[in-house]
């Protein structure tokens, strides 16, 4: 591998279909959703359908984001008692700062409130990444740098987000991006908290989920643009991730993406595939967990990686080499090449 591979060894997940990673992934595997009427109404006078996380109390706003993130982080820490939080950076992924209806006014204060909820202190290299969908990919890049330069044993990546906010929903409905009684070309909003443990790649007997390649790009013809879509940004991101992993598109077995119901993103994914696939493949399936948990913003990438880890562990994945790709509304794109393999395998 030309890049610096990482092992994704731990998971924590809170979604509308499960309050831990095993339950959520089992529901997603069975295509179970929790789409229900929310307390929000669309412009046609019908209740908006969403996927809400059913916590023990009716928390809203920042308080609920903290509760979801904390639950996912605790699940990660409980799964690996060797992790010392004081020696482990926490990279917290949140929504873009300019997203309409964002309930977090001060990222640093939110981070400190989360630490107060957890009653923990993390390594001084901890930081907040307000990157939306591509935030987890940015966090993996940062984790790679920290592990290489600071020689850390673990890095914890967490994400929490919710689109079930009145101003956020109003913005997406105004731009005809929300699934409503008046618009079929849209997504179902949701919320989630997720966490990942990332480590250096150690030799082990059993296979591991490996982040083998990362790539980034910018799409000029983003969803709010008037320019014709050619998927230039996504193509660059995937090319760079493939180069980083020292492989090509034909070596991969299937894809998992942040597609959540909008035709724009399906078209973009198809265009990128047409431009990059050089080998004829009978099948090259595409998974999109938002079908079950809804559009969960900055947490969606972590949800996708956790779904892949469980699918590989339980033996129902469609292969051992997987492409993940993600995109923000402003055109930022990222791609991740994953491998389920023993150290030393191709």
Q: Is residue 147 over pLDDT 70?
A: yes
Of the candidates 318, 296, 295, 298, which has an alpha carbon nearest to the alpha carbon of residue 308?
Answer: 318
Residue of 125 and 283 predicted with greater confidence: 125
Decide if 6-200 and 208-341 have a common fold: yes
Q: What is the pLDDT of residues 84-126, one digit of tens each?
A: 999 999 999 999 999 999 999 999 999 999 999 999 999 999 9
> Span 208-341: which CATH code?
3.40.47.10
| Domain positions in the chain | 6-200, 208-341
Report d(CA 307, CA 310) in Å as an integer. Answer: 5
Q: Is residue 1 over pLDDT 50?
A: no
Q: Is residue 299 over pLDDT 50?
A: yes
Q: Is residue 281 over pLDDT 90?
A: no
Per CATH, the homologous superfamily of domain 6-200 is Thiolase/Chalcone synthase (3.40.47.10)
Report d(CA 173, CA 304) in Å as an integer. Answer: 25
């Amino acid at each position: 591998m030309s890049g610096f591979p990482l092992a994704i060894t731990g998971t924590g997940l809170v979604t509308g279909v499960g309050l831990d990673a095993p339950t959520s992934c089992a529901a997603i595997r069975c295509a179970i959703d929790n789409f229900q009427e929310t307390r929000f109404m669309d412009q046609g006078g019908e209740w908006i359908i969403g996927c809400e996380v059913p916590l023990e109390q009716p928390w809203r706003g920042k308080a609920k984001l903290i509760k979801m993130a904390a639950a996912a982080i605790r699940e990660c820490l409980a799964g690996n008692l060797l992790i010392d939080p004081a020696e482990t950076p926490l990279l917290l992924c949140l929504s873009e700062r300019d997203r309409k209806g964002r309930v977090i006014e001060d990222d640093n204060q939110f981070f400190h409130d989360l630490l107060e909820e957890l009653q923990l202190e993390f390594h001084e290299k901890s930081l907040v990444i307000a990157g939306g969908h591509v935030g987890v990919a940015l966090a993996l890049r940062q984790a790679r740098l920290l592990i290489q330069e600071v020689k850390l044993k673990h890095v914890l990546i967490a994400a929490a987000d919710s689109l079930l906010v009145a101003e956020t929903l109003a913005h997406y409905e105004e731009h005809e991006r929300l699934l409503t009684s008046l618009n079929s070309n849209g997504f179902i909003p949701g919320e989630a908290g997720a966490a990942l443990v990332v480590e250096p790649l150690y030799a082990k007997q059993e296979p591991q989920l490996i982040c083998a390649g990362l790539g980034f790009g910018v799409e000029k013809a983003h969803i709010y643009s008037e320019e014709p879509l050619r998927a230039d940004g996504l193509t660059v991101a995937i090319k760079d991730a493939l180069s980083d992993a020292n492989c090509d598109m034909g070596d991969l077995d299937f894809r998992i993406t942040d597609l959540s119901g909008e035709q724009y993103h399906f078209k973009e994914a198809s265009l990128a595939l047409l431009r990059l696939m050089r080998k004829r493949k009978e099948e090259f399936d595409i998974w999109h967990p938002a079908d079950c948990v809804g559009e969960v913003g900055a947490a969606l990438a972590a949800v996708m990686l956790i779904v892949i880890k469980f699918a590989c562990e339980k033996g129902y994945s469609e292969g051992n080499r997987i492409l993940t790709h993600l995109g923000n509304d402003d055109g930022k794109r990222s791609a991740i090449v994953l491998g389920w393999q023993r150290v030393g395998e191709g």
